[in-house]
Amino acid sequence: MTYDVEESLAAVLRQRAEHDVDARALLDGALVRGRRRQRGRRLAAALGGAGVAGLTTVALLTGPLAIGRGGPEVGTTGSRATHPVPGVTDPTIGGAFLGPGQVGNDPSAVHFALDRLFAPVSLATWNVGPDGIETLRLIVALAGGKTGTVDVYLAAGVVHHPLLPDVTVMPHSQVSVEGRRGRLTLISQQDDTTSSELRWSPVDGIEAVVRTEGVSAEETLAIGRSIRFDRTTRCVTPAQVTVLPPGATLTGCRLALSNAQPAVAPSVTLTAGDRISTLEVSLDGQPIGSQPDATPLVAGRSEWSEPWRALVVYDLGGVGVRIVVQGGYDRAEAELVAGGLRRAATASADRPETWSPALTG
């Protein structure tokens, strides 16, 4: 599976089921139904259906490849930022302040950090995409069993993202974010659901956006002011990619962390390809099972699923692998990449603080 927030929720659905189910289809259905409702409540509905709305705080990676635990208290908007945000920070690499020209150009580095939040974080996804946008998505547990989302975007120039509608024509407030001028827009407020956007330039030539659902405009501004642009958050992997198809390059990395119960293993998805074809190498911090309609490649080790166009390695030293191909790539390219995967010598499958910050080798 891929390992953004929706895929992590799919894993929870799969593990909670009493029999084999298509968790991806279940989640897709839930999301489609939820999107018909107001945006501020769609994720709460999906999480409520999965029975995981009251998730506790995930592990905090407090320093370079070090891990700790936060408490399970439920926060409320307006409370102090005391709940840790998971992320693998690297103090040896400066953030956007020290290297604005690098933003969006290094798949292994998100050029900002966020240490703490006003409420417990249930799921966190750090991502550097092929579009050059660096993102952080947080699902947070709010009072009363409700959930909210916090999305942070960073890009050179202007942040253009399909999930960010144009709000420039809406009324807004001029605010100060660490001495820089910003725009705070209250997008919608219905009942107890609020949607807000904060947009500013923390460094000349760089734009940052904080978009929230279920979080007050005041808390949105506080989140923006607490983001650190002097530090970098790493996207790390338990296995390095050593071989790619001719002409392909590594273009993206997505790291997902959670302490959901039942446990969702830490995971990373590496994106590679050329102008026509792409492949995603998803590495899960635990072995994975067989796919429906799959053809065994190596007995007891790997298989190819034609309907999914996916090659699965059940257990690569405690790591599950799925390689999904698109465009002109097929089974041959998937097998090429799978054959070149190299487990990082010091990596423990379920401890991302031990994973390698070098995505290729």
Across the chain, which has 361 residues, the per-10-residue mean pLDDT values are 46 42 41 37 34 28 36 41 88 79 91 93 93 94 91 93 72 92 90 88 95 94 95 95 97 88 83 96 91 84 94 94 97 96 91 93 89
Contact between 135 and 153 under an 8 Å Cβ cutoff? The reply is yes
Residues near 151 by Cβ (< 8 Å), separated by ≥ 6?
135, 136, 137, 138, 163, 209, 210, 211, 212
| Ranges for all domains in the chain classified under CATH 3.30.200.100 | 239-354
Q: What is the pLDDT of residue 92?
A: 79
In angstroms, how far is CA 73 from the centroid of its own chain? 23
CATH 3.30.200.100 for the 239-354 domain, yes or no: yes
Q: What is the pLDDT of residue 259?
A: 58
Distance CA 334, CA 325 (A): 7
Exposed, middle or buried by CB within 10 Å (0-12, 13-18, 19+), for 280?
buried
Distance CA 202, CA 288 (A): 41
Q: What is the pLDDT of residue 81?
A: 74
Q: What is the pLDDT of residue 166?
A: 73
Measured in degrees and rounded to the nearest 5, phi and psi for residue 311 equal -105, 130
Of the candidates 115, 88, 5, the one whose C-alpha atom is nearest the C-alpha of residue 52 is 5
Q: Which CATH number fits domain 60-160+168-234: 1.20.1440, 2.60.40, 1.25.40, 3.40.1000?
A: 3.40.1000
Single-letter code of the amino acid located at 202: P
Q: What is the pLDDT of residue 71?
A: 32
Q: What is the pLDDT of residue 66?
A: 37
123 three-state secondary structure: strand
Distance CA 54, CA 220 (A): 21
Residues near 39 by Cβ (< 8 Å), separated by ≥ 6?
188, 195, 213
Q: What is the pLDDT of residue 266?
A: 93
Where would I find the H helices in 150-233? 217-226
Contact between 325 and 277 under an 8 Å Cβ cutoff? The reply is yes
- CA distances to 69, 133, 199, 234, 361 from 55, rounded to whole Å, are 14, 28, 29, 24, 36
| Ranges for all domains in the chain classified under CATH 3.40.1000 | 60-160+168-234
